[in-house]
Chain A
Amino acid sequence: MSVKTLKIDGVEIAIEEGATILQAAREAGVHIPTLCHLDGVSDVGACRLCLVEIEGNNRLLPACVTEVIEGMVITANNPRLKEYRRMIVEMLFSEGNHVCAVCVANGNCQLQDLAIELGMDHSRFPYRFPERDVDLSHEQFAIDHNRCVLCTRCVRVCDEIEGAHVWDVGFRGAAAKVITGLNQPWGEVDACTSCGKCVDACPTGAIFRKGATVAEMDRDRNKLQFLVTAREKKEWTR
């Protein structure tokens, strides 16, 4: 196995052949933002947030799928890349219906983190307010397409780790969405093993465990009455 030496944002690093620029950057302590990358599953280079400049190449290349070459000089962070990244995140925000205040992932969301990291305090692009649905047909989980950023992590984790391939992408362009089965309600897809890996893979609040949302809060008003009766009349059964 041979080792390649390269430079990322001025930091010199030696890394084994076959590693990606993203791996090298992480080892060198250089931060490159990503959204569709998920450790453990294949990379697709779809979110375009990890694009970097490489000396001698006038194309921007995605760090997650580009292998290191000996002597590479990489710029992972500069005003140009930052501006592109901010535009990408702004476009994601205006593309879906991301209302953090009522989201299950509020405070624990990679899209939100990216917006903060890239200094996005508002979107310069008009919001599109698409009409998207929520699928609550699964017993334990649900998907709110309003919050989906189409990173396809759920698709890859279900196919490559669980081996069930419940998820895929349907339609194209602005109409593209992740689908379950052959675009059936999730609860009707026999292939689903209810393993919950997609929930863990989702970077936003799109796929979540049921019972976690504000609207689903279930208050048991009778419990108070039961306790009062139990104490006063010593009746401990409901």
Chain B
Amino acid sequence: MDLAELQEIGEKQRTDRPSIRVRCCTAAGCLSSKSDAIKKSLDTAVKEAGLEKEVEVCSVGCMKFCGRGPLVEVDPVGKIYEMVTPENAPSIISAIKGGKATAIELDRNHPFFTRQKPIVLENIGKIDPEQIEEYIGVGGYQQLYQVINDLPPAEVIEEITKSGLRGRGGAGYPTGLKWATVAKMPPGQKYVVCNADEGDPGAFMDRAVLESDPHRVLEGMAIAGYAIGASEGFIYVRAEYPLAIERLETAIKQAKKYGILGSQIFESTFDFKINIRIGAGAFVCGEETALISSIEGGRGNPRPRPPYPAQEGLWGCPTLINNVETFANIAAILREGAEWYASIGTEKSKGTKVFALTGKVNNNGLIEVPMGITLREIVEEMGGGIPGGEVKAVQTGGPSGGCIPASLLDTTVDYESLARVGSMMGSGGMVVMDGATSMVEVARFYMEFCRGETCGKCVPCRAGTVQMYHTLTKLLKGEATETDLERLKAMCDMVKNTSLCGLGQSAPNPVISTLRYFPEEYLSLLKKESLNGKVAVSS
């Protein structure tokens, strides 16, 4: 297949379909609210109205405003309905011909939509993730074709480097540098790994991308494979994401059929096959060395680095590991150019970041915002603030991140600023908390999570998280003394500095950040007689 043929498939897809499309969200969130029944009801209504030639009902991925799901969008009318039920689905169809829909219409000009800058999410909610033709229809796989035919690997890497893209798994390592490192390793067997082991409480960005636009990730991985000289890739996805796994499998099958994946891609000499590996759902497997061990069939234990996976990864071969969102950025960067991408965001953090905005906030769902936006803009404008109250804190970065107090809401969203206030970008969970939230409870929640998820290999993480959890429980029961609080701080320091991998090294962060910004909440929980003259402050 050549470019003309690829474009022809896309063109056919665009022209052969009915002019009006009713899109129904069938990502995991809306599906759990029975959006499959809504789709059926819409289909029946179209048939009954005899509109099959003009109206097409199609399943698409996430439409972002998850808090108001299930969502149905009518295109090109431009109407989007919230909390649709199978009962009011027929009225949506009749509204196309001038009737009145019983479902509530969402305001498209709401800041939740208008402040977004979709790059990773550009196709999400617009195309059917189970049809490769739809992805091709929006220009998909053209970048893969072009790099294979026109761009030497070194230039692909240069383009990614120039774009300033940094790892979207949260740590922010420069993607171009990572690619260049693996590419420079001696030729031979190399691997590309996509880390889809998203496990942070409150995060669902990667799942949404995989469920809604799987081909995008496949294209990014294949381009990476071409750039670093790998012929095989693995997607490590957690078993808790059955729909994502199913759609990935479908996507791989379809791509193979068209000769876009597998051997001699686009009739070139480049081979690239992608395998899916299903993780049993251990948070530690997000850690790259543990993930590698898990793919190899071993226990998901991390090992000390160096050697880094770029030198010795899967089965001892050089391995490139990137997050889902990182791969999802690749095709867009190559299509629009590195300068375009680098023009978005801040000086050191380029491009956009996808967040799963959740918690005590009016509008929750999936957002993609340019780096440099402030937390206040996200929470108050896009999120619409807190139902009947004020923001107390925003938690970013999951168990590895921290709680940012309301006073610091003007902090900009970029790797450095978030780290400066004691949190981190993380993979993109953003949990908003209101005045009723006990920050010590929050700290304990994350500690409980880490305590259950540590692999148990190294002592500080295995035993330290348990002891910290105990101390926090003691505090919440009002049984802790000042000595316990001092010991808690000492444990934070010790676990952070001595643990083997990122899980343990960052596990104390929620405690450290809440101790830093909400010390009075900890003090007020101490046993009164232990306060040594200090007055307990009631929260």
Interface residues of A, Cβ cutoff 8 Å to B = 44-48, 51, 60, 62, 65-66, 83-84, 87-88, 91-92, 94-95, 124-126, 128, 149-150, 168-169, 171-176
If A44-B303, A48-B499, A87-B494 touch, whether A150 touches B456 (CB-CB below 8 Å) is yes
Among A51, A66, A83, A95, contact of B463 (Cβ-Cβ < 8 Å):
A95
What residues on A are CB-neighbors of B458 within 8 Å?
A: 45-48
- CB pair A174 B303 closer than 8 Å: no
For the A-B complex with A45-B304, A168-B299, A176-B457 known, give 11 more contacts whose Cβ atoms are closer than 8 Å. Answer: A44-B457, A47-B458, A48-B459, A48-B499, A62-B500, A88-B460, A126-B470, A149-B459, A169-B457, A173-B465, A174-B463
Beta-carbon contact of A150 and B487 below 8 Å? no
The CA of A27 and the CA of B242, in the complex, are separated in Å by: 54
Report B463-495 residues with CB < 8 Å from chain A CB: 463-467, 470, 487, 490-491, 494
Q: Find the B residue at minimum CB distance from A150.
A: B456
Interface assignment of B451: CB less than 8 Å from any CB of chain A: yes
Nearest-neighbor residue (CB-CB) of A85 within chain B = B498
Asked if A46 and B299 sit within 8 Å, CB to CB, the answer is no
Chain B residues lying within 8 Å of A45, measured Cβ to Cβ, are 303-304, 458, 500
Contact flags (1/0) for B274-317 with A, using CB distance below 8 Å?
00000000101000000000000001010110000000000000
A62 partner residues in chain B, CB cutoff 8 A: 304, 500
Chain B residues contacting A47 (CB-CB under 8 Å) are 458-459
In the complex, what's the smallest C-beta–C-beta distance from A231 to chain B, in angstroms?
A: 59
Shortest beta-carbon distance from A151 to chain B in Å:
9
Residues of A within 8 A of B465 (CB): 173
Name B498's closest neighbour in chain A (CB-CB): A48
The docked-state distance in angstroms from the alpha carbon of A48 to that of B304 is 11
How far is the CB of B419 from the nearest CB of chain A, in Å? 14
Question: A20 to chain B: closest CB distance in Å?
Answer: 11
Residues of B within 8 A of A173 (CB): 451-456, 462, 465-466
22 contacts between A and B (CB under 8 A): A45-B303, A45-B304, A46-B459, A48-B460, A84-B494, A84-B498, A87-B460, A88-B494, A91-B459, A91-B467, A92-B459, A95-B462, A124-B487, A125-B467, A149-B459, A169-B301, A171-B456, A172-B284, A174-B466, A176-B455, A176-B456, A176-B462
Closest to A171 in B: B456
| Complex CA distance for A45 and B301, rounded to whole angstroms | 12
Chain A residues near B189: list those with CB within 8 A. Answer: none
Report which residue of B451, B460, B498 has the largest number of chain A beta carbons within 10 angstroms of its beta carbon: B498
- Bound complex: CA of A83 vs CA of B463, how far in Å? 16
- Interface assignment of B497: CB less than 8 Å from any CB of chain A: yes
Query: Quick check: A88 and B299 within 8 Å, CB to CB?
Result: no
